[in-house]
Amino acid sequence: MVAAGHEVVVDIPGHCVLIVGYDRTARQYIIKDSANPGTFQTLSYDGPKISSGRYITAVEPPLVPQRDAMWLGRWQLEHDGWRGELVIRRTSSFYQAANQPTKIGNYYTVGRRYDVNGWFEDDYRICHFWIAGTEDKVAPCSLTGQEFCVYLMDADAVNAAGWTDFFGTRYGVTLSRFPLPRVNADAFEIHRWVGVWDFSHDGWKGALRLQSFAPVRGTYDDGHGVLQVEG
C-alpha cells in the first residue's frame, strides 16, 4: 500500500507508527513516530514485528451541527448577579415563519414563572429574547419585558453569553448547562478587573491577564503565543 501512495498506520509491540516510505536497499521503512516528533525515523524490515496495519481511503464530510437543537432544554441564567432557570422548549412556531417572534419558553426564579418570547438569528447562533415583566401570560409574539441577546458557539455548546438591557443600561449575561459558580456577595469595584481571567471564545480557551483598567492594558495567552491587549 505504501508503493501505491498510501501512508499506513502499523501496530508494533506496545506502540504504533506511520509508514510514509521505504528503502529496499537498506531494508528499512521510513516512518513518523509520535515519540520522536519533528523528524523522520526508520524501522527495519526485520523488526520489531508489525502485527497489523491500516490506511485511509476516504473521509466522510463533517456533520452539520443542529444548532436549533443545541438551544433546547434547561439553562442556568445569570445577569448582573440575578439568577434563574431559562427553559427553551422550541425555536420556531408552526404559525410563524422562521426567525419570527414567538414564545420560546419560560424563565423561573424565586418560585415565579415568566413567559419568554423571542427569535433566533444567524443560523441559530444567536437567541434574542424578552423575559416578561409580569407572571401573567403575554401574547406569543409580544416582545415586552427585559431584553436579552446571547450567543452560542458550535465548539462550546454548553455555555452561552451576551448582554441584557435594563432601562437603557447593558449588563453581561451568562448561560450554562451546568450550575454556575457561587456569586461574590461583595459590591463590585472596578479594580477587580485587574488580574488573570480564564477566557473562552467559540470554545477556544486561554488566559487573559489584565494589568490596568483605565486604559485597558494586558496580555492574552492562547497556549501558542502571547498577544497584547488594549482597550
Contact 119, 100 (CB under 8 A): yes
pLDDT reported for residue 93: 80
- What local confidence, expressed as pLDDT, does residue 157 receive? 87
pLDDT for residue 146: 96
Segments of the chain scoring below 50 in pLDDT:
none
pTM: 0.63
pLDDT score at 35: 82
Would you state the pLDDT for residue 153?
Answer: 82
Q: What confidence score (pLDDT) does residue 94 get?
A: 73
Residue 203's pLDDT is 66
| Distance of alpha carbon 14 from alpha carbon 35, whole angstroms | 12
The amino acid at 185: A
Instruction: Tell me how far apart the alpha carbons of residues 70 and 203 are, in angstroms, rounded to a whole number.
Output: 15
List CB contacts of 103: < 8 A, sequence separation 6 or more: 90, 93, 115, 116, 117, 140, 141
Q: Tell me how far the alpha carbon of residue 141 is from its chain's centroid.
A: 30
All three cell numbers of 139, joined, read 401574547
